[in-house]
Amino acid sequence: MDQKQSNTQFIKQKAKELGFFYCGISKAGFLEEEADHLEAWLKRSYNGKMSYMENHFDKRLDPTLLVDDAKSVVSLLLNYYPEERLPEGNNDLKISKYAYGTDYHFVIKDKLKQLLRVVQEKIGEVNGRVFVDSAPVMDKVWAKKSGLGWIGKNTNLIHPKSGSFFFIAELILDLELEIDGPIKDYCGTCTKCIDECPTDAIVEPYVVDGSKCISYLTIELKDELLPREFNGKMDNWFFGCDICQDVCPWNRFSKPTSEPSFAPSSALKNMSGNDWQDLTEEVFRELFKNSAVKRTKYTGLKRNINFLTNKEK
C-alpha cells in the first residue's frame, strides 16, 4: 500500500471512530458545471432575501480559494435521525428533526477539529480547514462527487442505504488522497417530494425556489411578518420543515442516531400546542440554550407561532 492509500484509510477510519457514518473524498478543483446552475438559480431570485448566497461566488465554486494549494475535499456525514419524534398531533406545532438537540455546528466542528488534529499528528505538516454549513462551500455537491449519495429532486443529498437525515461537513486539505467516484441517481420516476410540498417550493425536479420553502420562511426570512400568501400552507411547521424528507421512500432506511447530543431534552418533549402559544422569552432561552433554534431569536419564533395560530400582532 502506498502513502496516499495509507493516509486515505487512516482518515476514513478516524472519521468512523468520531461517529461520522460515511466519509468520501473528491479532488479539490473548480466546480465548472455548478457555476452555471448557481448563476441561473440566483438570477431567478430563488435565494429570496438570503443575500449572502450571492457573496463569495468564486469561493463557493473553488476550494483552492479557501485553502492554499487544496488537493482534496473530505466529505463527512453525521446522522441526526431521532429515536423518537416530538409530538405531531393535529394541534401540535412542529420543529425540524435536525434541531431537536444541541446545535450541530458545535457538535460537528468539535469532531472535525479532532479529526484534523489527528491527521496532522499522524501525517505531519498538513494544512486544512474544517467547514460545517457556515462558509461558502457547496457541501451537497462535494458529497455527491465523493460518492456519498445523489442529489434528489428535493435537492437533498440521498444515501442509498441511509436516506437523507444527516448533516454534511467537510475537511479541505492540501494533501493528495485516494478519490472516490460519484454514484448514480436513484430517484427514478418518483415525485413524492414535489407532490407533497404544501408551498410548491420544488418548482421542477432538482430545483427549489428557496423563497417558498417553509425552512426559509421560518428561519432565514427576517421580516416582521410572514407573507400572507402562505397562510394555511405551513402544515404547522414553526422551525424548519421535514416534509420532502419524510415522504421520500429512501428514508425508510433511516436509523436512529447514536449521537446523544442530538436527542431532545425532556422539557422540549413536554411542550404542547398551548405551551408554544404561551412561550415567554425566559422559557425560549432555557429551552434552546445550545440549540440551532436560537438562530430565529425569540421574536422570530414568536412570529412563526403567531402566524400558525392566527395570532399575529
CA 206 to CA 156: how far, in whole Å?
9
Nine-digit cell string for 307? 402566524
- Predicted confidence (pLDDT) per residue in 285-297, tens digit: 999 999 999 999 9
Q: For the chain, what is the mean pLDDT?
A: 94
CA 155 to CA 230: how far, in whole Å?
21
Annotation marks residue 2 as catalytic:
no
- Predicted confidence (pLDDT) per residue in 135-168, tens digit: 789 999 999 999 999 999 999 999 999 999 999 9
Of the residues 92, 133, 235, 246, only one is catalytic, namely 133
Q: Which residue blocks in the chain are alpha helix, DSSP H?
A: 3-17, 32-43, 57-61, 104-123, 139-145, 192-196, 214-215, 243-246, 266-269, 273-277, 281-287, 297-308
CA dihedral 95→47→49→295, nearest 10 degrees, is 30
- Predicted confidence (pLDDT) per residue in 17-74, tens digit: 999 999 999 999 999 888 888 888 889 888 888 877 877 788 889 999 999 999 999 9
Q: List the chain domain ranges.
A: 3-83+103-173, 192-308
3-83+103-173 CATH: 3.40.109
Strand, coil or helix: what is 218? helix
